[in-house]
Copies of this chain bind each other. A is one copy, B any other.
Amino acid sequence: MQAGTETSYKEMTVDKAKWIYQKMQEIRQFENAVHEIFEKGEIPGFVHLYAGEEAVAVGVCAHLTDDDKITSTHRGHGHCIAKGCDLDGMMAEIFGRATGLCKGKGGSMHIADVSKGMLGANGIVGAGLPLAIGAGLTAKVKKTDNVAVCFFGDGASNHGTFHEAVNMAAIWKLPVIFVCENNGFGEASTFDYAAAADRISDFAKVYKIAGDTVDGRDLMAVYEAAGKAVDRARKGEGPTILECLTYRDYGHFEGDTQTYKDKEVQEKAIAEDDCILRFQNAVKNTKLLTDEEISAIDSQVQDAVAHAIQFSEDSPFPDRSETTTDVYVSY
């Protein structure tokens, strides 16, 4: 397992560091807010929070442009934010309002913004994997240098679509990066129980593609490995499996009692191994960002999230006619 190196911090620009820190904070504060609002009963449906895993989405998306595509999961808020989706539109979507990114029709599990290259959160485990191949295929057929990133969980790695997609990406040398967020759990089942493999990246050898496992709570480790993978993909050198070991701070979904979790491990992960804290320390130690810069971002994000909530609460619900629009482009 690789860790991020000091040199990499030294090589990072202040702007990049700020962007990264801001995105991680946006995700964290957004998710904390959703958690609270959900508990109050103001958010309907199923909600899966990304808090704790920020370094993965942000470390990877830091290398992408709007023309690059990502596919996501049921735990999609973090991917959305890292890919540049609008917080107001996201929160309003989760609230089911007309001003939501999907006009309130999708909700938390189907947040999408195709204009940002975010091809949608997905309620179906494993569904994002073939979708990523498709985006990679488009890039190949159209001969652009765009890449596609597929975020998927350790649980999803046991679904057949994982293998079908990786195999196709491998034989066609598609510009796809398979980013596994291995948080050790698929719902209440541990990775150790559900998967026979030790490491998901071990499959890379068999498929004869690049593979790596990194500390997913270490922003720089993810950032570096993802950078190399994206580079390879852009150069036409084919796909990568990048496994990021991480932890989900909240339950599987909102309302989960989490009895299956080891309390001590959880507390330690949150207190001592938090990706945002670690990034804060690293950028301070390497003098990349100052305390003031960090606080400024913190409060700026706080305002943005507060704004998103207010915006959502103030937004109207969709008009009843919307129930049957957007089923077809034309019918």
Contact = CB atoms under 8 A, between A and B. Distances in A.
Interface of A: 158-164, 166-167, 170-171, 193-198, 202-203, 205-209
A194 B172 CA distance: 9
Contacts of A164: 158-160
Residue among A160, A195, A196, A208 having the largest count of chain B Cβ atoms under 10 Å: A196
A198 B195 CA distance: 23
Copy number in the complex reads: 2
A47 to B, nearest CB: 28
A194 B171 contact: yes
Contacts of A198: 208
Contacts of A194: 171
A198 B171 CA distance: 12
A196 B207 contact: yes
Given A158-B167, A171-B193, A197-B206, 19 more contacts: A158-B163, A159-B160, A159-B164, A160-B160, A160-B162, A160-B163, A160-B164, A167-B195, A167-B196, A167-B197, A171-B194, A171-B195, A196-B206, A196-B207, A196-B208, A196-B209, A197-B208, A202-B205, A203-B206
A193 B166 CA distance: 14
A225 B207 CA distance: 25
A39 B160 CA distance: 38
B193 A197 contact: no
Nearest to A203: B206
A196 B164 CA distance: 11
Nearest to A163: B163
5 contacts: A159-B164, A166-B196, A167-B197, A171-B194, A196-B207
Nearest to A207: B196
A300 to B, nearest CB: 45
A241 to B, nearest CB: 11
Contacts of A166: 196
A10 to B, nearest CB: 37
A208 B202 CA distance: 11
Contacts of A167: 158, 195-197
B158 A170 contact: no
A202 B208 CA distance: 11
Contacts of A202: 205-206
Contacts of A207: 196-197
A205 B164 CA distance: 19
A203 B206 CA distance: 7
> What are the 6 A-B residue pairs with the smallest beta carbon separation, nearest first?
A160-B160, A170-B196, A163-B163, A196-B207, A202-B206, A160-B164
Contacts of A160: 159-164
A128 to B, nearest CB: 14
A198 B209 CA distance: 12
A196 B167 CA distance: 6
Contacts of A206: 196-197, 202-203, 205-206
A185 to B, nearest CB: 15
Contacts of A163: 158, 160, 162-163
Nearest to A238: B196
A37 to B, nearest CB: 37
